[in-house]
Structure 1
Amino acid sequence: MSQYEVELKFPVANLAALRRQLIDRGARPLGIQQHRDTYYNHPCRDFAETHEALRIRRVDDQPMITYKGAKLDSPVKTRIELEWALGAGDVDGSNTEAMLVHLGFRRVAEVAKQRESFAVQPEAPSSELTVTLDDVQRVGTYAEIECIAEADGIGRAQEYVQAFAESLGLQNPEKRSYLRMLLQADG
């Protein structure tokens, strides 16, 4: 069964203040990681037009591959997400990268960020929320509130993500991906 990523992203001027607010609310720190995401475009369709994404993500140099499906029509970004770690046969992601290039995929850009994550226990029966504080090179500082949901729980997850963002005082959600923001900044 497919899982859906349900998320909102907000620009944040003061990550330290938001970090304190999360800790004061009982959020559990999950650590700080360095992410380096290399995005690819399909040889026969433009992911920018279909609102899909394919990337190799390196978390503290450990590679994984992610496919994100087209966004559902919703005020909260919601879409299928498939992600898995690359194993011992591809310890740095270079074999997967070479395969994608041989298949005609084109490298688009690389997004680098420092990500600090927190787990937030739900107040009602629902999936745990993850809040990340991101410092994205050449893009800025943002907070993402994310929940993973099965198809029958998307509505509840969307409501929960929105309510938690409001409770933190976060405003003006950013609908663009970090990749889109980076490409527009590099214009």
Structure 2
Amino acid sequence: MLEVEQKFLLADKTALLDQLAQLGATQETDQEQEDLYFTHPVRNFAETDEAFRIRRIGSENRVTYKGPKRNTVSKIRKEIELAFESGQSAFEQLTEMLELLGFHPLRSVRKRRTPFTCQHQQRAFEITIDEVEGLGLFAEIELLAEESELQEADNAIIELAAYLGMTHPIRTSYLGMLIEKETQSGSD
């Protein structure tokens, strides 16, 4: 499966919540997430446009690989995510193991995520509102799709985003935005 998503800077959270309610979206439980991104020992993920991270959601842990973004309006990329043992100790042990294998922690991204599920035009969307530490408020619209369904999924996200009044997607990841912000403030 491929992840198809668009991300937007969110100017008015209340307006989006009202629109989601009108669509009949179901709000899931808020999540505190921490993503620890790693650099590869021999491959430059910034050049290959890949990402490798460990994510903590409460006490739940996941390891995720994200492949290069395809050149489309939406962000389309291969994503492989696997759960591993819960708890802080397991998170720290996997971090240590990766470091011993030559991976290096790059940066953490912390956010409060409010997920919603929504049926729209016979598709099941995941819509999230993210309060990202150091960046602000964002909304994401996401679908999972097979290769043969990519164009339809991309079009469906573009249509739903426009319906919700979101017209300027951001292709840069939260990690990329934070690094860019730190680079800019370091040069000031």
Which TM-score tier does this pair reach, normalised by the shorter chain? Answer: over 0.9
Q: Which position in structure 2 is the counterpart of 1:144? A: 140
Shift of the alpha carbon at 1:87? 2.2
Which of 35, 46, 52 in structure 1 is aligned with 2:50? 52
Q: Which position in structure 1 is the counterpart of 2:176? A: 180
Q: Which position in structure 1 is the counterpart of 2:12? A: 14
- CA deviation string 1:20-76 (max 9, x = no partner): 210121011112100000000111111111110000000113111110001112111
Kindly indicate whether the alpha-carbon contact (under 8 Å) linking 1:34 and 1:59 is maintained by their aligned counterparts in 2. Answer: yes
Alignment partner of 2:72: what SS?
Answer: coil
Q: How many residues align?
A: 183
Alignment partner of 1:93: what SS?
Answer: helix
Shift of the alpha carbon at 1:91? 5.7
Specify every segment of 5 or more residues in structure 1 that has no aligned partner in the other structure, as ranges: none
- CA deviation string 1:80-109 (max 9, x = no partner): 000011126986412211111111111110
For residues 148-167 of structure 1, what are the structure 2 equivalents within 5 Å?
148-167=144-163
Which of 32, 35, 53 in structure 2 is aligned with 1:34? 32
Distance (Å, rounded) in 2 between the aligned partners of 1:55 and 1:182: 15
RMSD of aligned residue pairs (Cα, Å): 1.5
Q: Which position in structure 2 is the counterpart of 1:94? A: 92
Segment of structure 1 superposing worse, 148-157 or 32-41: 148-157
- Which ranges of 4 or more aligned residues in structure 1 deviate by more than 3 Å? 88-92
Match of 1:174, as an amino acid?
A: I
Kindly indicate whether the alpha-carbon contact (under 8 Å) linking 1:40 and 1:105 is maintained by their aligned counterparts in 2. Answer: yes
Distance (Å, rounded) in 1 between the aligned partners of 2:133 and 2:156: 29
Match of 2:105, as an amino acid?
A: R
Which of 132, 136, 148 in structure 1 is aligned with 2:128? 132
Distance (Å, rounded) in 1 between the aligned partners of 2:98 and 2:54: 10
Alignment partner of 1:155: what SS?
Answer: helix
Specify every segment of 5 or more residues in structure 2 that has no aligned partner in the other structure, as ranges: 184-188
Identity %: 38
Q: Which position in structure 1 is the counterpart of 2:108? A: 110
Distance (Å, rounded) in 1 between the aligned partners of 2:149 and 2:96: 37
Kindly indicate whether the alpha-carbon contact (under 8 Å) linking 1:41 and 1:107 is maintained by their aligned counterparts in 2. Answer: yes
Q: Please, what TM-score do these two structures have when normalized by structure 1?
A: 0.93
Distance (Å, rounded) in 2 between the aligned partners of 1:105 and 1:51: 16
> How has the CA–CA distance of structure 1 residues 139 and 88 changed in structure 2, closer, same or farther, with 3 Å as cutoff?
closer
Distance (Å, rounded) in 1 between the aligned partners of 2:110 and 2:142: 19
Distance (Å, rounded) in 2 between the aligned partners of 1:91 and 1:15: 35
